Amino acid sequence: MSRSERLFDLLQVLRRYRQPVSGQRLAEETGVSLRTLYRDIASLQAQGAHIEGEPGLGYVLKPGFLLPPMMFSEEEVEALVLGSRWVAKRGDSRLAIAAADALAKIASVLPPDMRESLDASPLLVGPRAPIAEGFDLALLRKAIRSERKLDISYVDNEGSESRRTVWPFALGFFEQVRVLVAWCELRQDFRHFRTDRIHGALVRDQRYPRRRQALIKNWRAAQQAAPG
């Protein structure tokens, strides 16, 4: 295990405790000697971690410390690379650009050896067939983030078109389709709308009356209760 990974593990252990925990306990959980543990705590404190305590009294990590990107483990770097590559292939064009930009920012602060691992990651995402969209999905994501009502023109399986006012709260990315998850005012229930069948969308200034988190929670409960 590299030193950066060891320091990362120590931080993760400290985050689990609300009250001071002894150095001996921390050493046992991280698999190092007590002397190494004290050195690692001093290193983290020098990097800005708000670790309070001393030998014999225990240590506690105060809230608010942000883990530097250079502390990512190798598997976490691989997860970030794979995730960004998936978004680049499966997300809309703006998300693809955002994923590439985010990965570049992370790479800029990684140590040279980890940056090389990031660039040469063997985890790949296969190609997919193009997905036709009638409009920019960024519009849907904006409506979801701002919790705004959305007017859409939707064509169902039989080819019938209807106008709906919906409360959008999630967007699913699948291999062949993207699906908007929303509360439908017309049906007074949760509905799933394939984005390739939405032929027009307008974000209203009006916020919907429930919070997005509550809608997601109720939708998940409804999915679990559904037969089959």
CATH code of the domain containing 143: 2.30.30
**Residue 193: is it exposed, middle or buried by C-beta count within 10 angstroms (0-12/13-18/19+)?**
buried
CATH code of the domain containing 17: 1.10.10.10
Looking at the structure, tell me whether residues 149 and 97 fall in a common domain: no
The set of residues, in sequence order, having a beta carbon less than 8 Å from that of 206 and lying 6+ positions away, is 148, 149
Looking at the structure, tell me whether residues 160 and 144 fall in a common domain: yes
CB 185 within 8 A of CB 195: no
Looking at the structure, tell me whether residues 60 and 77 fall in a common domain: no
pLDDT by 10s per residue, the chain, length 228: 667 778 878 888 898 888 899 999 999 999 999 999 999 999 888 877 889 998 888 999 987 655 554 566 778 888 888 999 899 888 888 888 888 888 887 777 677 777 777 778 888 888 877 776 667 788 999 999 999 999 999 998 888 999 999 999 999 988 888 999 999 999 999 999 999 999 889 999 999 999 999 999 999 999 998 876
> Does the predicted model carry a pTM greater than 0.85?
no
Number of domains in the chain: 3
- Residue 42 inside a domain? The answer is yes
State the residue range of the domain holding 93: 71-119
Site of tokens 């990362």: 8
CB 184 within 8 A of CB 191: yes
Site of tokens 């701002």: 146
CA distance 163 to 185: 11
